[in-house]
Amino acid sequence: MYQKIIIIGRLGRDPEMRYTPSGQSVTSFSVATDRRWTDANGQRQERTTWFRVSAWGKLGEICNQYLSKGRQVMIEGEMQEPRPYQGRDGEWRVGDPRWRAHRCETRKSPSTINLMPPEVDWLLTFASDVSP
């Protein structure tokens, strides 16, 4: 069985890249999606859902280089199982689910247009081909 999740939204903050003890790069960032609708009373409603995303290896390095806060992005990937952890009070908890990116797409912007090779189309796609 296979799961595939697609998230289209805007980055809530600049990506943060770090390295694991084995030297593998991982970039973390949050993506906000908005849902707007009119309820039964005719009132406009809006709900924002936040997703915590991790991109590993070369994909993470590229995301860290080209993505920034407020940038619209499409993430294709999978949900990772929430991991239990022990809080400072000694109680065991389960963390929020995280989303692992396998592919990331964003539009070129004036600030990145000169950084990218000319053969890259108006829609920039980054794909991951390795799993940690």
Q: At 52, which CATH number?
A: 2.40.50.140
Task: Write down the pLDDT at residue 14.
Answer: 96
**Number of domains present in the structure of the chain:** 1
Query: Measured between alpha carbons, how far is 25 from 29 in angstroms, rounded to an integer?
Result: 14
Q: Split the chain (132 residues) into runs of 10 and give each run's mean pLDDT.
A: 80 95 93 91 93 88 88 84 82 76 67 44 44 40
Domain with 77 in it: 5-36+46-127
Q: pTM score, two decimals?
A: 0.69
User: What is the identity of the amino acid at 62?
Assistant: I
Task: Write down the pLDDT at residue 59.
Answer: 86
Q: How many residues does the chain have?
A: 132
Angle at CA of residue 85, ends 79 and 89, nearest 5° = 145
**Can you say whether residue 94 is alpha, beta or left, with left for phi > 0 and alpha for psi between -120 and 50 degrees?**
beta
Assess if residue 55 is contained within a domain: yes
The DSSP bridge pattern shows strands 98-107 and 44-56 to be parallel
